Structure 1
Amino acid sequence: MKTKLTYLIIILVLGFQQNQAQEKLKVAVVGLNHDHAHGIMNAFRNDRIQLLGIAENDPDLIARYKKDYQVPDNLFFPDTKTMLNQVTPQVVMAYNPINEHVDVAEICLPMKIPLMVEKPLATTVADAQKMAKLSRDNDTHLLTNFETTWYASNQKLKTLVGESDFGKITKMIAKDGHEGPKEIGCSKEFLAWLTDPVKNGGGAVMDFGCYGANLMTWLQNGKRPIAVTAVTKHLKPDVYPKVDDDATIMVEYDDAIGIIEASWDWSYSIKSLQVYGSESSYHAPNGKTLVKNTNPVESESISLNEEYYQDHIAYLEAVFAGKVNPENDLSSLSNNLIVVEILEAAKKSAEAGKRIEL
């Protein structure tokens, strides 16, 4: 009897372990020249995901990632098409130059393989619309990953400003950036395209302007702005000769104003969001802190006991389990089409020196 019971326990444990393994998100990666790829590779190393393949042809990058994350040779493929002809992931995650997101979409989406790209969605409205059509025609998810989506402070802030006692949003201020990609030690492969006006679509205006545009579109419940006015600067022309390193963008709505301050020239790393109503304001200076102000000297720390998803992996697991519908959230296609529209208008405004109506 004891032997049978032991055998039964072993079978149950093995069955549980097998189910756990089957539940891991099946991921294929396109590109390693975006330093955000370290996030998904850490998930692979920590056994959070099942990595089916990596499409990369840079021998130096391949060697580095093989060494750092103990990736076996058989997981590397020379290109996206070759990889997806041999493996079938639940999702492809793209860590390549922004202007190449459309190329990945043209392969994945007709194969009905969901795609998540790193922010922003695209460098141009034309590319974003092409990608959106592919997503809709093939009824396949196209999502965008922003670090600030997973900030508990931002999620709580959205809940609170939606309550009746806050009233109407009058002003939003987003400050995003750091000392500069070269200054903080980004890899040479990342820097090569991040500072390229075609591959990245711009400098700080794209790299950090997208955060504010994403959050403001969300706070406005998917409303398109009526106009955009922007100023971009080359404060460090010797370091970043080809692209802007500082951008200030004013986003006009019919009843609110958004101010986006995006820079590679901050004294330190910052991702801050402030939202003002008629009687009070909320300030999320980082992902773990939220403060309510009723006047300049009275503040109240808000408890962040409500959690969203820990990260994009947990979010994708929920999407594929049918627990969340990415309709108008921060990762959604609808939101990120507007983000690209705001960024394109900002670049046009800065170049022409005038207000651009959408």
Structure 2
Amino acid sequence: MVRCASLLTTALFSLASTLGMTSLHAQQASQPVRVAIVGLEHGHVDGFLGAFPKQNDAQLVAVVDPDPALRAKAQAHFHLDSSLLYSDLDKAVAATHPQALLVYTSVGDHRRIIEAAARLGLDVMVEKPLALSVEDALAIRRLAHEHHIQVMVNYETTWYSSNKAVLDMVSSGKLGDVRKVVVHDGHEGPAEIGVQPEFLKWLTDPALNGAGALYDFGCYGADLITVMMHGEAPISVTASAQTDKPETYPHVDDDATIILRYPHTQAVLMPSWNWTFSRKDMEVYGTKAYAIAVNPRQVKLRTAENQPEQEFTADPLQSPEDTSLHYLAAVVRKQLNPDHDLTSLSTNVTVVQILDAARHSAASGRTIELQPLPKDGE
């Protein structure tokens, strides 16, 4: 009887512990993920500082930037409490204990910030593209794997329901075998649309942005085609870049065309700071049909020569894959694994490989034949 009572007590204790852990995990999953913003020199940060009060998945616990003028500007514009503002990342982490970093520095600073995040054991989401060079991308991948952190890349077009609809058509075979993809991205130019001075300064510096429009907008199409090709890198990259407005962009290109060759597919990426107006659209031509993501929500589909185009509104994206903050929170909570999707590290290492090759192709006037990247650990 004593032994039975002991076993019963042990079983009840185990059950209570399990229920307690389950309750703890549920409580943690319902709490906002603690996020620190690192960098205020990227203009996209304004959208995120404005978004935090309107949603419940993420709580802003710190804003870090070494420039006191940028901190004061953000504080005044977004009515931030002074307790959120820090000049040093290590001090901010020690004081506020974030679970993830949202990075809004120049692309050239991504590797340095991710090195710090890896040391601190924090997941990271950076603005596109991931890095300036293949060397940097491989170093970031190594850090992420060694320190068991997630590194994600945020693109505006990831949250376009039209792109998801077209990618779903590709993966389901509705379009047949994909033969050609054409992606147009860009706007009239960062100076022309009036981006913030601190943003324009590094966008037009090749040491901090990699190139001009070629990197700034070429990454969108490279991201989409890499997912469409299941992570496969192209066989070759051929690019042409030029500066049509040298008085405005003396050090970087403002217009580029990138041709990617795959075994049975070609992709043509057209990043530009010279479009008549802002555009981010994608055309996918298959052996059975073609589909065009016209804008964030609208899709055109044509299935036969004697059939007219059908135009429809794509189904809304579902949480947590509908916004970057929902997505980030789900990844931090380990509810979602960013594996070979538009945001994932694996996809974006290949994106950097494409951009780096395109930059070298444009500079040399030669087609760049791509070699397989070393696997992690090699």
Give the superposition deviation at 1:142. Answer: 0.5
- Deviation string, structure 1 residues 38-66 (Cα, Å, up to 9, x no partner): 12101224354311111112222111111
Q: Which residue of 2 aligns with 1:346?
A: 358
Q: 1:177 aligns with which of 186, 193, 203?
A: 186
- Deviation string, structure 1 residues 270-325 (Cα, Å, up to 9, x no partner): 00011110121000011110110235671012342252422100111222333321
Change (3 A) 1:138 1:204: same
Equivalences for residues 8-47 of structure 1 within 5 A: 23-46=31-54
Q: 1:153 aligns with which of 151, 159, 162?
A: 162
Give the superposition deviation at 1:164. Answer: 3.1
Contact 1:80 1:104 in 2 (8 A): no
Contact 1:176 1:208 in 2 (8 A): yes
- Deviation string, structure 1 residues 71-129 (Cα, Å, up to 9, x no partner): 11111111222222322212100000101000101111122100110000001111111
Matched, 1:301 2:323: no
Between Structure 1 and Structure 2, how many residues are aligned?
340
Give the superposition deviation at 1:20. Answer: 10
Matched, 1:335 2:347: yes
Contact 2:361 2:367 in 1 (8 A): yes
Contact 2:29 2:333 in 1 (8 A): no
Q: Which residue of 2 aligns with 1:212?
A: 221
Contact 1:168 1:277 in 2 (8 A): yes
Q: Which residue of 2 aligns with 1:81?
A: 90
Q: Which residue of 1 aligns with 2:373?
A: none
Contact 2:125 2:328 in 1 (8 A): no
Query: Is there any run of 5+ residues in structure 2 with no aligned partner, and where?
Result: 1-26, 371-378
Compare 295-304 and 83-92 and name the one that shifted more: 295-304
Matched, 1:134 2:143: yes
- Distance in 1 separating the partners of 2:61 and 2:110: 20
Q: What TM-score comes out, normalization by structure 2 length? A: 0.87
- Distance in 2 separating the partners of 1:47 and 1:159: 28
Q: CA RMSD in A?
A: 1.6
Contact 1:56 1:77 in 2 (8 A): yes
- Distance in 2 separating the partners of 1:250 and 1:47: 40
- Distance in 1 separating the partners of 2:216 and 2:93: 29
Change (3 A) 1:254 1:24: same
- Distance in 2 separating the partners of 1:47 and 1:348: 42
Over alpha carbons, which structure has the higher Rg? 2
Q: What TM-score comes out, normalization by structure 1 length? A: 0.92
